[in-house]
Structure 1
Amino acid sequence: MTTTAVGKMTAKGQITIPRDIRDFLQVKPGDLITWETTADGGVRVRRADPLDLAYLGAVQDGLSEWNSDADTEAYRDL
Protein backbone atom coordinates (compact mmCIF):
# COMPACT_ATOMS: atom_id res chain seq x y z
CA MET A 1 0.00 0.00 0.00
CA THR A 2 1.32 3.43 -0.94
CA THR A 3 0.13 6.59 0.77
CA THR A 4 0.92 10.13 -0.29
CA ALA A 5 0.28 13.09 1.99
CA VAL A 6 1.31 16.74 1.99
CA GLY A 7 2.27 18.91 4.95
CA LYS A 8 3.34 22.53 5.16
CA MET A 9 6.46 23.58 7.05
CA THR A 10 6.28 26.53 9.44
CA ALA A 11 8.88 29.31 9.69
CA LYS A 12 10.37 27.38 12.64
CA GLY A 13 10.89 24.25 10.50
CA GLN A 14 8.01 22.38 12.11
CA ILE A 15 5.59 20.22 10.17
CA THR A 16 2.45 18.36 11.15
CA ILE A 17 2.55 14.72 10.14
CA PRO A 18 -0.78 13.99 8.41
CA ARG A 19 -3.10 11.63 10.30
CA ASP A 20 -2.89 8.84 7.69
CA ILE A 21 0.92 8.83 8.01
CA ARG A 22 0.81 8.97 11.84
CA ASP A 23 -1.57 6.02 11.84
CA PHE A 24 0.63 4.08 9.41
CA LEU A 25 3.78 4.76 11.48
CA GLN A 26 1.87 4.08 14.70
CA VAL A 27 3.28 7.22 16.33
CA LYS A 28 1.86 9.27 19.15
CA PRO A 29 2.90 12.49 20.92
CA GLY A 30 6.36 12.12 22.41
CA ASP A 31 7.53 9.42 19.97
CA LEU A 32 10.72 10.05 18.03
CA ILE A 33 10.88 9.98 14.23
CA THR A 34 14.01 9.25 12.19
CA TRP A 35 14.74 10.99 8.89
CA GLU A 36 17.24 9.15 6.68
CA THR A 37 18.50 10.47 3.35
CA THR A 38 18.85 7.98 0.50
CA ALA A 39 21.43 7.81 -2.26
CA ASP A 40 18.84 8.72 -4.88
CA GLY A 41 18.02 12.03 -3.16
CA GLY A 42 14.97 10.82 -1.27
CA VAL A 43 14.19 10.70 2.42
CA ARG A 44 12.96 7.74 4.45
CA VAL A 45 10.84 8.55 7.49
CA ARG A 46 10.06 6.03 10.22
CA ARG A 47 9.30 5.69 13.90
CA ALA A 48 12.47 5.36 15.99
CA ASP A 49 12.61 2.21 18.08
CA PRO A 50 14.42 2.14 21.47
CA LEU A 51 17.09 -0.09 19.92
CA ASP A 52 17.70 2.56 17.23
CA LEU A 53 18.25 5.21 19.90
CA ALA A 54 20.71 3.06 21.86
CA TYR A 55 22.65 2.25 18.68
CA LEU A 56 22.76 5.86 17.52
CA GLY A 57 23.97 6.99 20.93
CA ALA A 58 26.77 4.42 20.91
CA VAL A 59 27.84 5.30 17.37
CA GLN A 60 27.76 9.03 18.06
CA ASP A 61 30.22 8.66 20.94
CA GLY A 62 32.68 6.87 18.67
CA LEU A 63 32.43 9.27 15.76
CA SER A 64 34.18 12.11 17.58
CA GLU A 65 37.27 9.94 18.14
CA TRP A 66 38.72 10.74 14.70
CA ASN A 67 37.65 14.29 14.15
CA SER A 68 40.70 16.47 13.71
CA ASP A 69 42.39 18.31 10.86
CA ALA A 70 45.16 15.68 10.89
CA ASP A 71 42.58 12.90 10.46
CA THR A 72 40.89 14.76 7.63
CA GLU A 73 44.22 15.15 5.85
CA ALA A 74 45.29 11.54 6.44
CA TYR A 75 42.04 10.05 5.13
CA ARG A 76 41.22 12.62 2.42
CA ASP A 77 41.89 10.30 -0.56
CA LEU A 78 40.07 7.20 0.69
Structure 2
Amino acid sequence: MDGENRYLNHGYKDRDDYLNNLADDYGVDSVAINAIAEMLGPDEDFDGLVSELDDFDSFGLLDDFRKKVV
Protein backbone atom coordinates (compact mmCIF):
# COMPACT_ATOMS: atom_id res chain seq x y z
CA MET A 1 0.00 0.00 0.00
CA ASP A 2 1.28 3.42 -0.85
CA GLY A 3 0.14 7.01 -0.89
CA GLU A 4 -3.48 7.86 -0.30
CA ASN A 5 -4.55 4.29 -1.10
CA ARG A 6 -3.43 3.04 2.28
CA TYR A 7 -5.82 5.46 3.99
CA LEU A 8 -8.66 4.45 1.67
CA ASN A 9 -7.91 0.79 2.35
CA HIS A 10 -8.28 1.46 6.08
CA GLY A 11 -11.58 3.28 5.58
CA TYR A 12 -10.44 6.91 5.61
CA LYS A 13 -10.66 9.56 2.88
CA ASP A 14 -7.05 10.67 3.33
CA ARG A 15 -4.37 11.26 5.96
CA ASP A 16 -6.16 14.28 7.43
CA ASP A 17 -9.31 12.22 7.88
CA TYR A 18 -7.30 9.47 9.58
CA LEU A 19 -5.50 11.88 11.93
CA ASN A 20 -8.74 13.65 12.83
CA ASN A 21 -10.27 10.26 13.61
CA LEU A 22 -7.34 9.44 15.89
CA ALA A 23 -7.84 12.77 17.65
CA ASP A 24 -11.49 11.88 18.23
CA ASP A 25 -10.56 8.38 19.44
CA TYR A 26 -8.12 9.79 21.99
CA GLY A 27 -10.40 12.72 22.87
CA VAL A 28 -7.72 15.29 22.19
CA ASP A 29 -7.30 18.32 19.97
CA SER A 30 -6.07 17.39 16.51
CA VAL A 31 -3.12 19.79 16.91
CA ALA A 32 -1.48 17.31 19.29
CA ILE A 33 -2.02 14.35 16.97
CA ASN A 34 -0.79 16.30 13.94
CA ALA A 35 2.37 17.40 15.73
CA ILE A 36 3.32 13.86 16.73
CA ALA A 37 2.37 12.50 13.30
CA GLU A 38 4.50 15.14 11.60
CA MET A 39 7.55 14.20 13.67
CA LEU A 40 7.17 10.52 12.83
CA GLY A 41 6.16 10.90 9.21
CA PRO A 42 3.40 9.18 7.24
CA ASP A 43 5.22 5.84 7.07
CA GLU A 44 4.52 5.41 10.79
CA ASP A 45 0.83 6.36 10.73
CA PHE A 46 -0.55 2.87 11.30
CA ASP A 47 2.04 1.49 13.68
CA GLY A 48 4.57 3.87 15.25
CA LEU A 49 2.11 6.73 15.62
CA VAL A 50 -0.46 4.56 17.37
CA SER A 51 2.22 3.15 19.69
CA GLU A 52 3.47 6.65 20.51
CA LEU A 53 -0.05 7.87 21.20
CA ASP A 54 -0.69 4.92 23.50
CA ASP A 55 2.55 5.68 25.36
CA PHE A 56 1.79 9.41 25.56
CA ASP A 57 -1.70 8.63 26.82
CA SER A 58 -0.52 6.15 29.47
CA PHE A 59 1.95 8.70 30.85
CA GLY A 60 -0.66 11.47 30.89
CA LEU A 61 1.15 13.49 28.24
CA LEU A 62 -2.05 14.04 26.25
CA ASP A 63 -4.02 15.35 29.23
CA ASP A 64 -3.37 19.01 28.45
CA PHE A 65 -4.81 18.46 24.97
CA ARG A 66 -8.09 16.81 26.03
CA LYS A 67 -11.18 18.24 24.40
CA LYS A 68 -13.28 20.08 26.91
CA VAL A 69 -16.81 18.71 27.25
CA VAL A 70 -19.32 21.48 27.79
TM-score by length of 2: 0.28
| Greater helix content | 2
Higher relative contact order (CA 8 A, sep 6+): 2
**Which of 1 and 2 has greater Rg?**
1
